[in-house]
């Protein structure tokens, strides 16, 4: 049945043309944007996933910049530590020369002072963007200030962005430890005593040849303000005695992160150096936090311990400022001290080198990971341009045919007029 009121053929042709035009618009959008999923309406699930991944890519870009900054900072510190090691070896050679009977101690001391100043200059200049990893580690004036200053012995470098299956995001860091190679002298604390048992000396009043004494280093866990910390930066330890370091007290102030073993090691080195400088035949050994002194002088050995809070830590190479090769005894004592000084700088350079290598590996990984994420995003949302081009041509032909079909359908009622002629 033909009708001039309802043209079913025209309606079918119109719907077909609308569908073709809609597909043609989508294809043209894909070609112009280069994306098959340009907005959430195209595919909400894929669009949401791609946006999360794009957010991660931007985050990793910031992480890459952080790693570059951290790597440069550590590299400066490593180069400084390596150069200081070379200078210490030069000084050690001069100290060995000073152990000869026929030497000019005053001239050697002048050379040593010049090299010492150069080390101080390197330590002060080895900074990047204001951060110096060779500087003195933190120590505070009061226990409360020290407790609040958590983590001052290291620098945290942002290294990764971790996302779990539930969408929770957490950041990871690489810790660059500060390695103090300063020459500044310590300041013994003016605060209260750490604890009655923090530095105990026993058996140090024996006159017999070969007698021994023990010096036990401990901390304090009973003070509530310490939050359970046994050792805090600023804890000060002093050994006094007529036969141990007669010309000076033996002192050490803990740096942030020190343990009782670190303190015992430092005290042992200072005891040995001072005894050699004073010409005393005393032998020292250490097991953990206990230092054993053996008296080979035949004279009485006396010592006492004192502790306090709120001191200022000295530099890692503080003993270098006490080296005096103007006398033969001083030269012999300095040679023993230089072993620990050189090892301190070597350990610092090795630590920085290890950290720098880890940062470099992480930086390469982050770069590769960012590229992989970008490729993944492209696989999800990028348009297949070859397919889009072929589809565009096909749709353009369909559009032309649709227009002709609609024109033919609209002309169909005109044929009804011939029935009335």
Domain count, the chain: 3
26 found inside a domain: yes
| Predicted confidence (pLDDT) at residue 376 exceeds the cutoff of 80 | yes
192 found inside a domain: no
| Predicted confidence (pLDDT) at residue 136 exceeds the cutoff of 60 | no
306 found inside a domain: yes
170 and 52 in a common domain: yes
Supply the pLDDT for residue 82. 92
Please compute the mean of the pLDDT values over residues 133-140 and round it to a whole number: 59
340 found inside a domain: no
Please compute the mean of the pLDDT values over residues 364-375 and round it to a whole number: 91
213 and 161 in a common domain: no
Which residues lie below 8 Å from residue 129, measured CB to CB, with a gap of 6+? Answer: 69, 73
CATH code, domain with 250:
2.60.40
297 and 240 in a common domain: yes
Separation CA 122–CA 124 (nearest Å): 5
51 found inside a domain: yes
308 and 267 in a common domain: yes
Ranking 61-75, 141-155, 193-207 by mean pLDDT, the lowest is 141-155
Please compute the mean of the pLDDT values over residues 369-375 and round it to a whole number: 90
Supply the pLDDT for residue 209. 67
H-helix or E-strand spanning residue 402: helix 385-411
**Which of the two residues, 368 and 241, has the higher pLDDT score?**
368
Separation CA 315–CA 223 (nearest Å): 27
176 and 51 in a common domain: yes
- Helix, strand, or coil (residue 383): coil
List the domain range (segments joined by +) for residue 64.
Answer: 46-180+352-374
CATH code, domain with 82:
1.20.1330.10
Residue range 276-320, pLDDT digits in tens: 777 788 888 899 899 888 888 767 778 888 888 888 888 888 888
Strand runs labelled E in 241-389: 250-253, 282-287, 290-295, 304-308
pLDDT class for 421, splitting at 50, 70, 90? low
Supply the pLDDT for residue 349. 92
Supply the pLDDT for residue 152. 52
Q: What is the CA radius of gyration of the chain?
A: 39
Please compute the mean of the pLDDT values over residues 98-122 and round it to a whole number: 78
Q: Are 293 and 203 in contact (CB under 8 A)?
A: no
Of the candidates 313, 312, 315, 291, the residue with the CA atom closest to the CA atom of residue 303: 291
Separation CA 295–CA 372 (nearest Å): 68
41 found inside a domain: no
Strand runs labelled E in 6-129: none
Residue range 234-246, pLDDT digits in tens: 899 998 877 776 5
93 found inside a domain: yes
172 and 50 in a common domain: yes
Supply the pLDDT for residue 36. 82
Phi, psi of 163 (to 5 degrees): -120, 125
Out of 295, 313, 331, a domain closes at 313
pLDDT class for 111, splitting at 50, 70, 90? confident
Supply the pLDDT for residue 207. 55
């Amino acid at each position: 049945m033909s009708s001039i009121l309802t043209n079913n053929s025209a309606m079918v042709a119109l719907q077909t043309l609308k569908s073709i035009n809609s597909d043609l618009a989508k294809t043209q959008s894909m070609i112009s944007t280069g994306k098959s999923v340009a907005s959430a309406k195209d595919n909400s699930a894929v669009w949401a996933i791609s946006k999360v991944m794009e957010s991660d890519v931007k985050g990793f870009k910031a992480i890459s910049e952080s790693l570059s900054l951290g790597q440069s900072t550590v590299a400066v510190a490593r180069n400084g530590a390596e150069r200081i090691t070379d200078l210490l070896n030069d000084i050690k050679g001069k100290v060995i020369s000073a152990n000869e009977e026929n030497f000019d101690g005053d001239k050697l001391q002048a050379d040593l002072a010049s090299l010492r100043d150069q080390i101080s200059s390197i330590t002060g200049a080895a900074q990047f963007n204001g951060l110096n990893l060779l500087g003195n580690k933190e120590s505070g004036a009061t226990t409360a200030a020290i407790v609040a200053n958590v983590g001052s012995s290291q620098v945290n470098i942002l290294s990764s962005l971790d996302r779990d299956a539930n969408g929770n995001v957490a950041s990871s860091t690489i810790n660059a430890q500060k390695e103090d190679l300063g020459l500044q002298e310590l300041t013994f604390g003016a605060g209260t005593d750490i604890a009655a048992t923090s530095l105990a000396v026993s058996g140090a009043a024996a006159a017999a040849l070969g007698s021994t004494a023990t010096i036990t280093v401990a901390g304090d866990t009973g003070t509530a303000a310490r939050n359970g910390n046994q050792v805090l930066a600023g804890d000060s330890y002093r050994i006094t005695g007529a036969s141990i370091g007669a010309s000076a007290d033996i002192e050490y102030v803990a740096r942030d992160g020190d343990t009782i073993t670190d303190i015992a090691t430092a005290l042992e080195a200072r005891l040995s150096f001072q005894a050699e400088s004073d010409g005393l035949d005393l032998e020292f050994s250490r097991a953990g936090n206990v230092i054993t002194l053996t008296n080979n002088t035949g004279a009485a050995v006396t010592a006492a311990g004192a502790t306090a809070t709120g001191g200022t830590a000295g530099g890692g190479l503080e003993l270098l400022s006490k080296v005096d090769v103007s006398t033969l005894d001083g030269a012999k004592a300095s040679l023993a001290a230089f072993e620990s000084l050189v090892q301190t700088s070597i350990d610092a350079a090795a630590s920085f080198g290890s950290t720098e290598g880890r940062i470099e590996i992480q930086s390469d990984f982050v770069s590769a990971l960012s590229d992989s994420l970008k490729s993944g995003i492209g696989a999800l949302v990028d348009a297949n341009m070859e397919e889009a081009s072929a589809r565009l041509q096909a749709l353009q032909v369909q559009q032309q045919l649709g227009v002709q079909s609609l024109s033919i359908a609209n002309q169909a009622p005109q044929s009804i007029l011939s029935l009335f002629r």
